[in-house]
A and B are shown apart, each in its own frame.
Chain A
């Protein structure tokens, strides 16, 4: 039994992550469904939300600017011990870090393996939940699923036609990656995968606005 197996009422999550693409993707969906943008690169901003009682689930990255995810979640716990704490990262914490997470009841989620479980957790049905927030959140996650179904297979089909995806490099700032890695990102719905789904969807919207059939 983990925290993900327990349905929540009125889930109002905040995301803190050091990846601007991930933050932008989550905020884009929040905006799509007229919810406040509560994904941020700035841990201090998230702490202010906690102090104001605006969120009751915090999903934080392990690596963040100025503070590590474990220390950040400890600060959240000090402010409000009732907030559900989730550490979402590609790297599993070990030893002392793991012990610190256990002390505050925080759950570790793997970015590669637990994204769909997180989605399930946030939208889990609960007989006591009747708030607009939860409804809207379900809608947001529905959009995520729709994006996944509608766009990913389309994009992967195009990328699948490329020969030697391991040797085809994409320049992206300091995070160059090859096409094979991008396909894996799309399969796992990693932040980079999500950002590319968002870009594909927006590019198709642009094409439609220019009269193209997509």
Chain B
């Protein structure tokens, strides 16, 4: 029912819808940033976005979407997760039916349904997505090379990343290529850097996120490069 209401609101708003996948990893325990991003997402409440959590491996993306009340992914996918050690997919907690710890490319393959834009907030996501099988599946992607950092262990830190996430998810529906999405995202990170600096709250950890927004800009890559 909630999902239906969101769909109606999103449709009325005329915005291209976005599916946001959160794929936490139990091995990181309380220090996993993905649940923090998930909580931030819940707080910003954007009608054109649907958040889906993949707590444990399933057989296919469709299965995870159905578990969360969605039938299929939207044409823009945004993922928050961790890379597999072999850089062949996204790490996941093993599930009951699917005992694997990596979501390989076939998990994401929806056959004829294609993804216009894939944004992966994943360390070394660019090295995964530039592999042949992945680039066929997601021809237009934006991600990062190397590690990216975030500081969300304070209310202020969460507020800073909420600003980034909100701007990012509001902007992405307007982007038709990875190149324009990457340019827009770099602009968002730089704007967040400047805004954070303008009202710098050192006790809240702003100096850290100033550096980490900078790093996101430096490490960002896209499929059209």
Residue positions of A touching B, CB distance < 8 A: 20-21, 24, 155, 157-159, 161-163, 167-176, 179, 182, 196, 199-200, 202-203, 206-207, 210, 212, 214
Cβ-defined partner of A202 (8 Å) among B31, B32, B146, B218? B218
Cross-chain pair count, CB within 8 angstroms: 89
A162-B214 CB under 8 A given contacts A170-B150, A207-B194: no
Among B147, B148, B154, B211, contact of A203 (Cβ-Cβ < 8 Å): B211
Residues on A with C-beta less than 8 A from B152 are 171
Q: Is B104 an interface residue (CB 8 A)?
A: no
From A175, A182, A199, name the one whose CB has the most chain B CB atoms within 10 angstroms.
A199
A-contacting 9-mer, from B5-13, B109-117, B200-208: B200-208
CB of A158 within 8 A of CB of B207, answer: yes
Query: Contact: A170 with B208, CB < 8 Å?
Result: yes
Given A171-B152, A172-B149, A173-B123: A203 in contact with B214 (beta carbons within 8 A): yes
How near does chain A come to B84, taking the closest CB pair, in angstroms? 11
A21: chain B residues within 8 A (beta carbon)? 146-147
In the assembly, what is the distance between CA of A155 and CA of B146, in Å?
23
Check if B151 sits within 8 Å of A170, measured CB to CB.
Answer: yes
CA distance A158 to B194 in the complex (A): 16
Q: A173-B147, A199-B211 are in contact. List 18 more A-B contacts (CB 8 A).
A: A20-B146, A24-B146, A155-B207, A157-B202, A158-B206, A158-B207, A161-B203, A162-B154, A169-B153, A170-B149, A170-B150, A176-B28, A199-B214, A200-B211, A206-B217, A207-B194, A210-B190, A212-B198
Query: Residues of A contacting B210 with CB < 8 Å?
Result: 200, 203
Closest partner residue, chain A, to B145 (CB atom):
A20
Residues of chain A contacted by B197 (CB below 8 angstroms): 207, 212, 214
Residues of A within 8 Å of B36, CB to CB, are: 171
Is the beta-carbon distance between B82 and A207 smaller than 8 angstroms? no
CB-CB < 8 A to A172: which residues of B? Answer: 123, 147-149
Tell me the minimal C-beta distance from A154 to chain B in angstroms. 9
Q: How far, in angstroms, from A170 to B154 measured CA to CA in the complex? A: 10
A171–B33 contact, CB under 8 A? Answer: yes
**Once bound together, how far apart are the Cα atoms of A133 and B174, in whole Å?**
50
Q: Does B215 contact A (CB under 8 A)?
A: yes
Give B203 Cβ to nearest chain A Cβ, in Å: 5
User: What residues of chain B lie closer than 8 Å to A173, measured between beta carbons?
Assistant: 82, 123-124, 147-148
Interchain nearest-CB distance for B105 vs A (Å): 21
Say which residue of B28, B146, B204, B214 sits within 8 Å of A206 (CB atoms).
B214
Least CB distance, A210 to chain B, in whole angstroms: 5
Which residues does chain A contribute within 8 Å of B217, judged by CB atoms? Answer: 206
Judging by beta carbons under 8 Å apart, are B203 and A203 in contact? no
Asked whether any CB of chain A lies closer than 8 Å to the CB of B22, the reply is no
The distance in angstroms between the C-alpha atoms of A159 and B203, with both chains bound, is 7
Shortest Cβ gap from B201 to chain A (Å): 9
Contact of A196 among B147, B194, B211, B218 (CB under 8 A): B211
Q: Give A24's nearest chain B residue, CB to CB.
A: B146
B193 contacts chain A at the CB level, 8 A cutoff: yes
